[in-house]
Amino acid sequence: MYKITLIPGDGIGLEVTAAMKRVVEASGVDIEWEEVIAGEAVLEEYGSPLPDYVLDSIKKNKIAIKGPITTPVGKGFRSVNVALRKELNLFANVRPVKTFKGIKSRYENIDLTIIRENTEDLYAGIEHQIGDYAGESIKLITRDASDRIVDFACKYLKDNGYKRLTGVHKANIMKISDGLFLRVFDEVSKRNGIERLAKGEAPNRVYADDVIVDAAAMNLVLNPEKFDVLVMPNLYGDILSDLCAGLVGGLGIIPSANIGEDYAVFEAVHGSAPQIAGRGIANPTALIQSAIMMLRYIGEHEAALKIENALKEVFDKGQVLTSDLGGKASTDEFADELCRLIRD
């Protein structure tokens, strides 16, 4: 039996975590969920949206899965999500983006992963006000964090049988911060035996290249099938992963894993979607796919495959779909259908 920390989050978090739990249970894995609350709901009582008991639970169980948590815009407490990643040193954010044949999209064969550095860049929270006339945020890129994330991406590429490792940056403008990231990208990919292609060489082997972030955005829309693993600083990863979600059916689909040396926290890429919260219509696929990543992480490959096959089948049939994918099913009806297919 596994003991896993479950943070339901808020907004649609409550609905999608309930659906995810039922689907994982249907797969037959024996999990005891340790449910802990974070976010605005506990702010007054504990004086923090991320009380110590949340971190203590994850430190004890080593693994957590969470629903999205609302962050006030432009004021109020700092993001619980960013704080969790920093406190637990979850340095790698892994976001696989794949097409499901059954989901309508302009593309057919997308299979790429965004690896986003999770601890620094403009998310380090080093910002201050200069009187009432300016705000200054510092973009911090360090050698150590860049080395660690590129090294992680190299291993991910090899472990998952991908060929192309792309470093994404804006080193033409931010020559010092992104310039360092790009230099480290070159050093670390070489150290891992992933060399750039020679001029005119066909891409018939594992290789590295780099793309400026704006060109990456365009090429991801034009030819997403040509990318495999993309590694980048925090902010570019945040933006490009939402862009990639749009290529395969939207934010309701894309999962993620926050991985550190000691702990791992799995969550959907999407947020708490306040516009549709409480209506029972959110698509739980992103969190269910995050649970699949979690099951593989703990070695429960058979259960992961059962859920993955059920998702494929439900999309292929196209009869029980949530409204973001053009269907009429509720979150619960979608989860019921998955549970039925898994048990069959």
For the annotated catalytic residues, the residue numbers are 123, 170, 214, 238
**Terminal alpha carbon distance of the chain:** 23
What burial class does residue 180 get, using C-beta atoms within 10 Å of its C-beta: 0-12 exposed, 13-18 middle, 19+ buried?
Answer: middle
Minimum CB distance to ligand NAI smaller for 81 or for 330: 81
Q: Looking only at residues 7 through 26 of this chain, which bind ligand NAI when binding is defined by CB under 6 A?
A: 12, 16
Please pick, from the candidates 17, 81, 93, 146, the single residue that binds ligand NAI as defined by CB under 6 A: 81
For 241-262, b/e burial (b = at least 16 CB within 10 A) is bbebbbbbbbbbbbbbbbbbee
Taking alpha carbons only, the member of 147, 145, 110, 94 closest to residue 296 is 94
Q: Which stretch binds ligand NAI (CB under 6 A): 184-192, 257-265, 279-287, 303-311?
A: 279-287
- Contact assessment for residue 293 and residue 120, using Cβ atoms and an 8 Å cutoff: no
Q: Please, which residue, 77 or 162, has the CB nearer to ligand NAI?
A: 77
Q: Which residues of 86-115 are buried (b: 16+ CB within 10 A; e: fewer)?
A: bebebbbbbbbbebbebbebeeeebebbbb
Stretch that binds ligand NAI, among 62-70, 165-173, 193-201, 215-223 (CB under 6 A): 62-70
Q: Least Å distance between CB 254 and ligand NAI? A: 9
Is residue 39 close enough to count as binding ligand NAI by CB under 6 A? no
Total of chain residues touching ligand NAI, rule CB under 6 A: 21
Does 271 bind ligand NAI (CB under 6 A)? Our answer is yes
Cα–Cα nearest to 160, from 115, 203, 197: 115
Out of 230, 273, 321, 338, name the contact with ligand NAI by CB under 6 A: 273
> Strand 111-117 to strand 127-130: parallel, antiparallel, or no bridges (unpaired)?
unpaired
Q: List the one residue from 31, 145, 247, 286 that touches ligand NAI (CB under 6 A).
A: 286
Binders in 115-154 for ligand NAI, by CB under 6 A: none
User: Among 112, 171, 247, 276, which residue interacts with ligand NAI (rule: CB under 6 A)?
Assistant: 276
Task: Looking at residues 324 to 343 of the shown chain, list those that interact with ligand NAI (rule: CB under 6 A).
Answer: 324
Residue 268 to residue 251: CA distance in whole angstroms: 8
CB neighbours (10 Å) of residue 240? 21
Q: What is the SS3 assignment for 149?
A: helix
Query: What's the rounded Cα separation, in Å, for the pair 95 and 78?
Result: 23
Residue 68 as a binder of ligand NAI (CB under 6 A): the answer is yes
Return the number of the residue (12 or 206) whose C-beta is nearest ligand NAI: 12
Q: Does 251 engage in binding with ligand NAI (CB under 6 A)? A: yes
DSSP E strand stretches across 52-178: 63-66, 92-98, 111-117, 127-130, 134-137, 164-169
Q: Does 249 bind ligand NAI (CB under 6 A)?
A: no
Site for ligand NAI in 299-328 (CB under 6 A): 324
Stretch that binds ligand NAI, among 63-71, 188-196, 258-266, 302-310 (CB under 6 A): 63-71
- In the complex, least distance from residue 166 CB atom to ligand NAI, rounded to whole angstroms: 24
Binding of residue 275 to ligand NAI (CB under 6 A): yes
Q: Which of 282, 295, 314, 341 forms a contact with ligand NAI (CB under 6 A)?
A: 282
At closest approach, how far in Å is the CB of 181 from ligand NAI?
Answer: 23
> Which of 66, 25, 23 has the alpha carbon at shortest distance from 332?
23
Closest residue by Cα to residue 25 from 4, 8, 9, 11? 4
- Which residues are at the interface with ligand NAI (CB under 6 A)? 12, 16, 68-71, 81, 251-252, 267, 270-276, 282-283, 286, 324
